[in-house]
């Protein structure tokens, strides 16, 4: 079987990915990072291969097939079958929103408010495959965690993720707070929400790799300003949060001011727009009951 050096394989892959019209080339060097990620996956290692390493034929073919898939715009977590999120491997499948690195900051904001609190209760609205809920269950293990999503497929995946990781969280299907048991009203310490916040009219402008691979209901709530679920979360949070409890909402930087206004109108206090994540662009707007 013909062996090829890692460097050559990576260079070829980067050229293919750079030429793809289906990939959003928003970040310099993104294609190389992705090619390295796929090569590690093809070889079955978790460190970048030495550029002079000879890659056996079988691993090379696996790698080239994955690069072809990626060049069609398919997100890497679907190709690998999982996404990494704060050290957890979460199953990634078409039909459910792919966890984003940027949401690690939202999880961090929740965890540091919950970790030291006795009998803490966390609610993750629009939980998808359980992303934020499971990070909290893992890093603030004494917390009682609820995750809710309107999509039954998302809830099924969240339960599978929890089982596979040996983490405890209750996942329910339903529309926003409607999925929660009435008995936890007034007891919740932290509510997290990473909502579908793209304004309806901006949906066609999204990069192919998002628009064609993520279901529309995970991207937009079909409102004109994209803030339909944000308004509902802010207005209804008062019934669910304990006094002093927090509502944390992840939004794009350009929407943060509007979300702050929504929280102010809903009567929340200590409202702030916090910035973090690896690229320091993720915004989490926080408000307190
Ligand atoms: C941007 S995704 C975030 C998923 C997850 N929190 C994450 O960060 O990976 C938005 C999620 O909102 C859910 N969703 C949309 N409308 C909803 C509603 N009315 N009630 C609850 N969840 C909803 C979608 O199914 C989707 O899983």
Q: The tokens of 24 are what?
A: 């959003």
Measuring from atom 19 of ligand 1, which residue has the nearest CA? 175
Query: Could you tell me how far CA 100 lies from the centroid of its own chain?
Result: 4
Q: What is the mean pLDDT of residues 196-202?
A: 91
Q: What is the mean pLDDT of residues 50-61?
A: 88
What does the pLDDT read at residue 56? Answer: 86
Measuring from atom 14 of ligand 1, which residue has the nearest CA? 126
pLDDT digits 0-9 by tens, 83-136: 999 999 999 999 999 999 999 999 999 999 999 999 999 999 999 999 999 999
Measuring from atom 27 of ligand 1, which residue has the nearest CA? 128
Ligand 1 site, residue 154, Cβ cutoff 6 A: yes
- Backbone φ and ψ of 188, nearest 5°: -80, 130
Measuring from atom 24 of ligand 1, which residue has the nearest CA? 218
Ligand 1 site, residue 194, Cβ cutoff 6 A: yes
**Residue 7, CA distances (Å) to 19, 21, 31, 51, 114 in order:** 19, 24, 14, 4, 45
CA 137 – CA 145 distance, rounded (Å): 6
If one residue of 149, 180, 221, 249 were mutated to test the ligand 1 pocket, choosing by the most ligand atoms within 8 A of its CB, it would be 149
Q: The tokens of 192 are what?
A: 């997290």
Q: What is the mean pLDDT of residues 68-88?
A: 96
Ligand 1 site, residue 212, Cβ cutoff 6 A: no
pLDDT digits 0-9 by tens, 247-258: 999 998 889 999
Q: Which atom of ligand 1 is nearest to the CA of 217?
A: 15
Q: What is the mean pLDDT of residues 259-284?
A: 88
In the predicted structure, residue 202 carries a pLDDT above the cut 80: yes
What is the average pLDDT value for the chain, to the nearest integer? 94
**Letter string b/e over residues 241-264, b meaning 16 or more CB atoms within 10 A of that residue's CB:** bbeebbbbbbbeeebbebbbebbe
Number of C-beta neighbours around residue 53 at 10 A:
15
82 contacts 90 by C-beta, under 8 angstroms: yes
Q: What is the pTM of this model?
A: 0.93
Picking from 131, 71, 67, 143, the residue whose alpha carbon sits closest to that of residue 101 is 131
What does the pLDDT read at residue 185? Answer: 98
What does the pLDDT read at residue 52? Answer: 85
Ligand 1 site, residue 43, Cβ cutoff 6 A: no
CA 169 – CA 144 distance, rounded (Å): 7
Ligand 1 site, residue 150, Cβ cutoff 6 A: yes
**Residue 269, CA distances (Å) to 204, 212, 266 in order:** 36, 39, 9
């Amino acid at each position: 079987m013909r062996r090829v050096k890692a460097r050559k394989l990576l260079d070829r892959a980067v050229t293919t990915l750079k030429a793809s019209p289906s990939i959003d080339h928003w970040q310099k060097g993104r294609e190389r990072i992705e090619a390295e990620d796929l090569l590690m996956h093809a070889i079955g290692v978790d460190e970048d291969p030495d550029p002079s390493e000879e890659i056996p034929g079988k691993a090379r073919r696996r790698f080239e097939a994955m690069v072809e898939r990626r060049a069609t715009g398919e997100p890497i977590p679907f190709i690998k079958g999982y996404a990494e999120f704060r050290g957890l491997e979460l199953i990634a499948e078409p039909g459910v929103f792919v966890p984003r690195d940027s949401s690690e900051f939202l999880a961090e904001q929740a965890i540091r408010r919950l970790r030291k609190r006795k009998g803490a209760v966390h609610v993750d609205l629009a939980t998808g495959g359980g992303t934020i809920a499971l990070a909290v269950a893992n890093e603030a293990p004494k917390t009682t965690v609820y995750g809710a999503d309107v999509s039954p497929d998302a809830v099924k995946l969240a339960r599978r993720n929890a089982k596979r990781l040996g983490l405890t969280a209750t996942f329910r299907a339903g529309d926003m707070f409607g999925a929660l048991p009435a008995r936890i009203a007034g007891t919740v310490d932290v509510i997290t929400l990473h909502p579908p916040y793209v304004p309806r009219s901006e949906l066609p402008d999204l990069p192919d790799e998002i628009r064609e691979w993520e279901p529309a209901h995970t991207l937009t709530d079909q409102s004109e300003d994209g803030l339909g679920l944000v308004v509902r979360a802010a207005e209804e949070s008062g019934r669910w949060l304990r006094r002093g409890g927090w509502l944390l909402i992840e939004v794009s930087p350009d929407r943060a001011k509007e979300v702050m206004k929504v929280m102010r109108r809903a009567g929340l206090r200590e409202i702030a727009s916090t910035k973090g994540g690896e690229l320091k662009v993720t915004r989490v707007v926080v408000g307190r009951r």
